[in-house]
Structure 1
Amino acid sequence: MNLSEREQYIIDRYQAGEAEMILVFVQWCHNHKLDPLVVYREAYPNQALPTKLIEINQELIESNENVQIETSLLLEILQVYGNDDLAFIVANYAEKLIDKTKKG
């Protein structure tokens, strides 16, 4: 594998991981009846919504799949990919959800 192929392999693996991160985020939002596009905009109000986020959200809505995602897993994945602002917003939502559950 030459340098160019190795670089492309790394880029491809990163992009695949990023798509998986988006899927986990979108699924977590759907699990908690949150709109992932709204949550993302809270974290990054000055950025356009990523095309991949919109696509994955639509695919998940159409598939109607429901896989439970632990908040701790989502937070860890977001931080690995440097989405600290989004992780902060998700943590705030998670705290509100816990408080809501405790109150009944």
Structure 2
Amino acid sequence: MNSKEVENQIIQNYQKDEKMMILVFAQWCINHGLDPESLYQSAYPGQQKNQALREALELTVSKEEAGPIADDTLLGVLSLFGNEDLAFAVTEEIEKKRKRLK
């Protein structure tokens, strides 16, 4: 592979991994009764609707069909991709959930 092919392969792998991160986020939201698009908008209010999130929503399943996604797993994945604003919004939702359970 020449350097351009390697660069393209790296970009493709990153995009594939990013889609998986978005799917994990969307499924976590579904599992917790949250609207993924609303939560995303609260983290990034200036952005247009996220097409990748819409595509991920088509791949989500019901809470009953899905396996659990640990809060720390989601936060780690978001951090890995530099989605600190979204991680902050998720953390706020986690705190709200903990307060309700007390």
| Matching residue of 2:40 | 40
Moved over 2 A (4+): none
**Any conservation in 1 of the 2:23–2:59 contact (CA below 8 Å)?**
no
Q: Specify every segment of 5 or more residues in structure 1 that has no aligned partner in the other structure, as ranges.
A: none
CA distance in 2, matches of 1:16, 1:58: 16
| Matching residue of 1:99 | 99
CA distance in 2, matches of 1:34, 1:101: 16
| Matching residue of 1:8 | 8
Query: TM-score of the superposition, structure 2-length normalised?
Result: 0.93
The size of the alignment, in residue pairs, is 100
**Any conservation in 1 of the 2:79–2:87 contact (CA below 8 Å)?**
yes
RMSD: 1.0
Matched, 1:52 2:52: yes
Q: Secondary structure at the match of 2:58?
A: helix
| Matching residue of 2:86 | 86
Q: CA deviation at 1:66?
A: 1.2
Structure 1 or 2: more helix by fraction: 1
Q: Specify every segment of 5 or more residues in structure 2 that has no aligned partner in the other structure, as ranges.
A: none
